[in-house]
Structure 1
Amino acid sequence: MPSQPFPLVCLPFAGSGAGFYRAWVPDALPAVRVIPVQLPGREELFLEEPFTDAIDAAAVLVPQIAELTSGYEEFGIFGHSLGAVLGYEVARGLQELGRPAPAHLFVSGSPGPFNGRDARATGLSDEEFLLRVQEFAGYRHAAFDDPDLRELLLPVLRADVAMHENYKPSSDVPLRIPVTALRGADDALVSAEHARQWALVTESEFRYAELPGGHMYLADSTAALLRAVTGS
């Protein structure tokens, strides 16, 4: 009898929503069940105020993710950039509350939580902010060149970027689950040294893996990323 697909809870990166991961669902490997998580302020939740603090965000997300995963014997959490620190805090929250914790945490495109980034975009003017984010991510979404869409999307992106740049971990007590740090081999924002800092967050197994591409490698290397998750 074939094994059941591994449920993978996916948390968005700054400025994105669950729609990015919903696009993975039809093409996901048979070994993975993609479970996108939506954040307020975007897509179907665009009327809700976005989170402004990662610790507060995790406190809201923990019961939501506990409910989403209640029918599974085990599951993983994947987060890219901002989603990585949210995933880390959610994993910690589940562990501390005695809820079923993820079997594995996958953090992508982010330095370890105890150091953060050196360069910042928070506080810049709109155009300077977008240029800095473009520099960070290696691309600029066409939506920000449309004045109406820009007005709609910019506050969420600003809130997300500030949340990531101002983030401080809620605790330095190690997790008890395996952690894998993933990074695009050509990522100019997060170095291999920065990504390997995630080894400090767990007393269990740590693994580091690189995939082809830059900071947003996951937009072009979905299959390779999911293979890295499943170890296939």
Structure 2
Amino acid sequence: MSSKPYPLVCLPFAGSGAGFYRSWAEIPTNGITVLPMQLPGREELFLDDPFTDVIEAAAYLATRIADLTAEMPSFGLFGHSLGAVLCYEIARELERAGHRGLAHLYVSGSPGPCNGRDIRATGLDDAGFLERVQEFAGYRHEAFDDPGLRELLLPVLRADVAMHENYKPAPEAHLRVPVTSLRGEEDALVTREHALQWRDVTEADFTYLELSGGHMYLVDSPEVLLRTIAGS
């Protein structure tokens, strides 16, 4: 594996798209190149049906990431919440396919992949669903206060949340790449013990890091997160 900085492929959290990470390109990152990945059903892929299964989504994304990074000596994967389990399954797909470029997995705001939530949002009516998601995240995007935008965005958010809540990983061999688990120190949804569960998914090095903020700490302080990744 080559040393950092290396490109960082970023996977969206529930309801978001690649546009969230595109703004990170303007942030000084100690040489890290941010490579946002898009999921169907949002932004320029708005007309495509969103995925409802993590394994299927990971298989699709792993192929795209393998093509994107084919000429790169090494790269990292970063994902927050839903993005974390997507990254984990993508890493498994890449390892199974013999793709050698993955140097590090960064998982943020997520329990270990074998541990789901006890309280679910799937199946609630629109008001209850949005209230539960806000409770989970400690954050509500202002777009959901606009009736027109809410109608547009809600199906994708519902699909993402159901995909996350219904996810069950298959028991297989551990990853062979280092894993860093990141968490906002005031995160009321994902505890320190939850975040430490990621040490069980790899045969390589494991690191746990806390940053200032709650569950959505990366919304307010992306530059701190990127500096942390660059220096970890």
Do both proteins adopt the same fold according to a TM-score greater than 0.5, normalized to the shorter chain? yes
CA distance in 1, matches of 2:146, 2:47: 20
> 2:148 is paired with a residue of what secondary structure?
helix
| Higher deviation after alignment, 3-12 or 130-139 | 3-12
The correspondence of residues 76-155 of structure 1 with structure 2, limited to 5 A, is 76-155=76-155
How far off is 1:29 after superposition? 0.9
Structure 2: unaligned runs, 5 residues or longer: none
- The amino acid of 1:77's aligned partner reads L
Q: Which residue of 2 aligns with 1:174?
A: 174
Question: Could you tell me whether the CA contact under 8 Å between 1:95 and 1:101 is conserved in 2?
Answer: no
Tell me by how many angstroms 1:101 deviates: 4.3
Residue 208 (str. 1) matches residue 212 (str. 2): no
Cα offset for 1:100? 2.2
Aligned position for 2:38:
38
Tell me if the contact between 1:187 and 1:215 (Cα under 8 Å) persists in the aligned partners.
yes
Please give the per-residue CA displacement for 1:120-161, whole angstroms capped at 9, x wherever unaligned: 111111000000001111121111111111111000000000
| 1:210 partner SS | strand
Shift of 1:89: 0.3
Tell me the TM-score normalized by structure 2. Answer: 0.96
SS of aligned partner of 1:160: helix
Retained in 2: the 8 A contact 1:9–1:34? yes
Which SS does the other structure have where 1:103 is aligned?
Answer: strand
Corresponding residue of 1:73: 73
The letter for the 1-side match of 2:217 is Y
Cα pair 1:89 1:170 within 8 Å, conserved: no
Q: Percent identical across equivalent pairs?
A: 68
Task: Output aligned runs, 1:213-224, within 5 Å.
Answer: 213-224=213-224
The separation in 2 between residues aligned to 1:30 and 1:111, in whole angstroms, is 28
Following the alignment from structure 2 to structure 1, what is the Cα–Cα distance between the partners of residues 134 and 153?
Answer: 15
SS of the residue aligned with 1:39? coil
Equivalent AA in structure 2 for residue 102 of structure 1: L
Q: Is the 8 A contact 1:79 1:85 kept in 2?
A: yes
**Closer/same/farther in 2, CA of residues 28 and 21 from structure 1, 3 Å limit:** farther
Question: Structure 1 28/89 Cα, relative in aligned 2: closer, same or farther at 3 Å?
Answer: farther
Give the C-alpha shift of residue 31 in structure 1: 2.1
Matched pairs, number: 230
Supply the distance in 2 between the matched residues of 1:208 and 1:30 (Cα, whole angstroms): 21
C-alpha separation in 1, matches of 2:164 and 2:86: 9
* Letter in structure 2 aligned against 1:75: F
**Which portions of structure 1, spanning 4 or more consecutive aligned residues, are displaced by more than 3 angstroms?**
none
The reply on whether 1:22 has 2:2 as its aligned counterpart is: no
Moved more, 20-29 or 40-49: 20-29
Q: Is the 8 A contact 2:13 2:83 kept in 1?
A: yes
**Cα distance in 1 for residues equivalent to 2:30 and 2:115:** 36
Helix, strand or coil: the match of 1:31? coil
Over 3 Å counting, the alpha-carbon distance change for 1:205 and 1:101 in structure 2 is same
Q: TM-score, normalised by structure 1?
A: 0.96
The separation in 2 between residues aligned to 1:186 and 1:172, in whole angstroms, is 32
Q: Which amino acid aligns with 1:227?
A: R
Unaligned runs of 5+ in 1: none
Q: Which residue of 2 aligns with 1:11?
A: 11
**What code does the residue aligned with 1:132 have?**
R
Correspondence list, 1:175-194, <5 A: 175-194=175-194
Q: Deviations over 1:28-83 (max 9, x none)?
A: 41321000000000000010000000000011011100111112100000000000
